[in-house]
């Protein structure tokens, strides 16, 4: 019987140790899972931060481009407006001079254009 008593005690101790190991493994597993979740969250935070920095950088570059070339475009539009105004004034002056130099020729041209317009509008 003595042998049974000795063998029963080590089995009980072994079972206790296995249960203790199982508990420790569960704790370790939970800790690793929590750490992995934290690591994933940190990775997502890092990616989000770098993405925001990249987007901010692109927006800043675009704004700089617009600022630099917006002034150039505005200057060119102003130059084209001035040239257009000058051409309009020259055309007006030329028309006035032509009418003053050749009033009968201008009147004949206007009458001819009127007859041509009337003829084209009458035809179906």
- pLDDT tens, residue by residue, 83-116: 999 999 999 999 888 888 888 888 888 899 999 9
pTM score: 0.40
User: In this predicted structure, what is the pLDDT of residue 124?
Assistant: 62
Give 18's pLDDT tier (boundaries 50, 70, 90). Answer: confident
Residue 55's nearest CA partner among 43, 47, 65 is: 47
100 backbone φψ class: left, alpha, beta (φ>0; ψ -120 to 50):
alpha
- pLDDT tens, residue by residue, 33-82: 888 777 778 888 888 888 888 888 889 988 888 888 888 888 889 999 99
User: In this predicted structure, what is the pLDDT of residue 30?
Assistant: 84
Distance between alpha carbon 48 and the CA centroid of its chain, in Å?
A: 17
Instruction: With beta carbons less than 8 A apart as the criterion, state whether 98 and 106 touch.
Output: yes
Side-chain half-sphere exposure of 52, counting CA atoms within 13 A: 6
């Amino acid at each position: 019987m003595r042998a049974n008593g000795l063998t029963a005690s080590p089995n009980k101790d072994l079972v206790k140790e296995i249960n203790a190991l199982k508990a420790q493994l569960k704790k370790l597993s939970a800790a690793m899972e929590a750490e992995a979740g934290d690591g994933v969250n940190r990775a997502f935070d890092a990616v989000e931060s770098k993405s925001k920095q990249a987007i901010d950088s692109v927006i800043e570059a675009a704004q700089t481009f617009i600022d630099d070339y917006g002034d150039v475009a505005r200057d060119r539009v102003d130059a084209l407006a001035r040239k257009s105004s000058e051409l309009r004034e020259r055309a007006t002056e030329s028309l006035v001079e032509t009418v003053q130099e050749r009033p009968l020729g201008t009147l004949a041209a206007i009458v001819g254009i009127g007859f041509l317009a009337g003829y084209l509008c009458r035809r179906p």
